Structure 1
Amino acid sequence: MQKKHPIVESQGQQSNVLDSVNSEEPIIQHKLQRKCTTDAEKKILKGLFEFDFFSDDTAIEILRELQDISNDWNMQRIRTYWNNHKKKFLNNVIYYY
């Protein structure tokens, strides 16, 4: 037997739903636009891969450089870039013992 949870809507949400149903304008949903990294940004971002871990200090320095080029960059986007590209860069590193 599944539990039934009551649906609670605030008065503001309910009126917004009714307004959108009653209006004849179509609801347009926009997709998030993917941001392409330029060659200049990639050159700066290479500094992230000097270490085999994500360094906040290095990321802050890189963020300052990137914000001179574009205001689209923030720490979350830099961390996402590092997570998406770390295998590519870290596999090319040769370790000397």
Structure 2
Amino acid sequence: MQKKHPIVESQGQQSNVLDSVNSEEPIIQHKLQRKCTTDAEKKILEGLFEFDFFSDDTAIEILRELQDISNDWNMQRIRTYWNNYKKKISK
């Protein structure tokens, strides 16, 4: 014999009601805010372009320096920056 838990059942019913109410509201999507690279950050990032390939060791050192300035930086953002600017700098 299984025990029924009316509290759990009522919570499930409430969530269904909330889901139906929320589904009628329009979904507002916010644009991602573009982060501008400061001159100080660009100066630090110049170290990435000493090599023709992306060096994880160099990127980690640069990440540490950048995080002293701003917490917006991570390895993915550094790699994206390198991919976007490697061709422009090498010309």
TM exceeds 0.5? yes
**Distance in 1 (alpha carbons) for counterparts of 2:67 and 2:83:** 20
The 3 A distance-change label for structure 1 pair 10 and 57 is farther
More helix by share: 2
Classify the secondary structure of the residue corresponding to 1:35.
coil
**Structure 2 unmatched ranges of 5 or more:** none
**CA deviation profile, 1:8-46 (whole Å, cap 9, x unmatched):** 999999967973556664421111111110000000000
The change in CA–CA distance for 1:48 and 1:15 in structure 2 (over 3 A counts) is: same
Show the 5 A alignment for 1:33-52.
33-52=33-52
Computing the radius of gyration from Cα coordinates, the structure with the larger value is 2
- Identity among equivalent pairs (%): 98
My pick for the range that moved more, 77-86 or 18-27, is 18-27
CA distance in 2, matches of 1:13, 1:80: 45
Query: SS at the partner of 2:6?
Result: coil
**In structure 2, what is the Cα distance between the partners aligned to 1:85 and 1:7?**
57
TM-score (norm 2): 0.71
